[in-house]
Amino acid sequence: MTEVAAALIWRDDRFLICQRPKEKARGLLWEFVGGKVEPGETKEQALVRECREELGIELAVGTVFMDVVHAYPDITVHLTLFNASIAAGEPALLEHNAMAWIRPEEIPRYDFCPADETILKKLMG
């Protein structure tokens, strides 16, 4: 089981999503920013590091929004999505193909990673 931490970052009534690079597994699917928890890291530390590496921002990590376990053909992930906010910086595309700030009702317009589907249903209410 691979531990993954991700961020639900709101700006007014929109939240941030990122499109995976096309050369990676699940390329060009949309996801919440985040990544694998490295040995010796807490989930919160991993999330701060990933957001720094992928978006060039400093993140303030809040409470857990939701936990999901999803089995892909190549990997099983335990995804923890945290409520978070940008403490410093403006998101930049350092690794992803694209990013967007979307409202919950716009979720159906995007193709997300399957692990995110339960979370997206909760966001859509």
Q: What is the pLDDT of residues 51-82, one digit of tens each?
A: 999 999 999 999 999 999 999 999 999 999 99
Task: Give the model's pLDDT for residue 112.
Answer: 97
Delineate the domains of the chain, giving CATH numbers in brackets.
2-124 (3.90.79.10)
User: What are the tens digits of pLDDT across the range 97-124?
Assistant: 999 999 999 999 999 999 999 999 999 9
Q: Please state, in angstroms and rounded to a whole number, the distance separating the CA atoms of residues 124 and 121.
A: 5
Distance CA 92, CA 20 (A): 14
Cα gap 57→73, rounded to integer Å: 32
Q: How far apart are CA 28 and CA 90, in angstroms?
A: 22
The arithmetic mean of pLDDT across residues 22-27, rounded, is 92
The percent helix, strand, coil of the chain (3-state, each to 5) is 25, 45, 35
pLDDT of residue 97: 96
Contact (Cβ atoms closer than 8 angstroms) between residue 92 and residue 56? yes
The fraction of the chain above a pLDDT of 70, given in percent, is 100
Q: What is the pLDDT of residue 62?
A: 98
What the block records as the tokens of 44 is 């919160």
Predicted confidence at residue 43, as pLDDT, reads 98
Give mean pLDDT, residues 11-40.
96
The full length of the chain comes to 125
SS3 readout for 29-55: CEECCEEECCCCCCHHHHHHHHHHHHH
Q: How high is the mean pLDDT of the chain?
A: 97
User: Which residues does 39 contact at the CB level (< 8 Å), separation at least 6?
Assistant: none
pLDDT of residue 121: 97
